[in-house]
Structures are given as structure tokens and as C-alpha cells.
Amino acid sequence: MKRFAFKMFLKPGFEEEYQRRHAALWPELKRQIKEAGIGNYSIFWDRDTNILFACQEMADDGQSSQDMGADEITRKWWDYMADIMETNPDNSPVTIPLREVFHLD
């Protein structure tokens, strides 16, 4: 397994909406993420900056959730979330990969 961490940007005033939408994450999207070999996926929110910090584990030869844009379900989710997050022209969230500098098992 490899770990992948990245940050995204939540628009001000949408903190509760972001949580509400993720609490009702579509079953087909959950299934797709798991079938892609992604697990132990968490997203944290920094209230001072509105930065979302995400961390996930995936198979060594797998892709991250941010690489799944060729899939229709993922694109629909990105479209659904575009009004509350900073996005790219294709509505994928603006993400900045983070380099791991320490890990302790």
C-alpha cells in the first residue's frame, strides 16, 4: 500500500454543506473508490484557512481518487461539488499533492 495526501480548497460559508454532502456520499461512488483499491480515506478541514486535507491509501499500482476523472460517476460528483469548492475547468477539485516527510506505523 502507498499513501497519498493532498489539499483542496473549500469556499467560505460551505463547511456544513460539504459535510452534509459527504455524509450522504453516493453508494456507487463509495463502491467505485473501494473497487479502485482506495481505502483508509479521510478528509480533514482547517477552519482557519478553509483548506481540506485528504489522505488515502491505495494499492502500489493503483490510482488516487483524484485520478478517477475518466469515470462518469466521478465526473458527476465533481459537478455536484463544484459550487462549494475551488475547481479546475473540468470541475475537478483543485488539488495540490503533499509530499510525505514523516510516517510512523
Residues recognised as catalytic: 22
> Which amino acid, one-letter code, is at 66?
Q
Three-class SS state of 35:
helix
In the numeric block, which cell numbers belong to residue 22? 459527504
Strands 38-46 and 51-58: antiparallel
Place of cell 463502491: 31
End-to-end CA distance of the chain: 13
Q: Are 58 and 38 in contact (CB under 8 A)?
A: yes
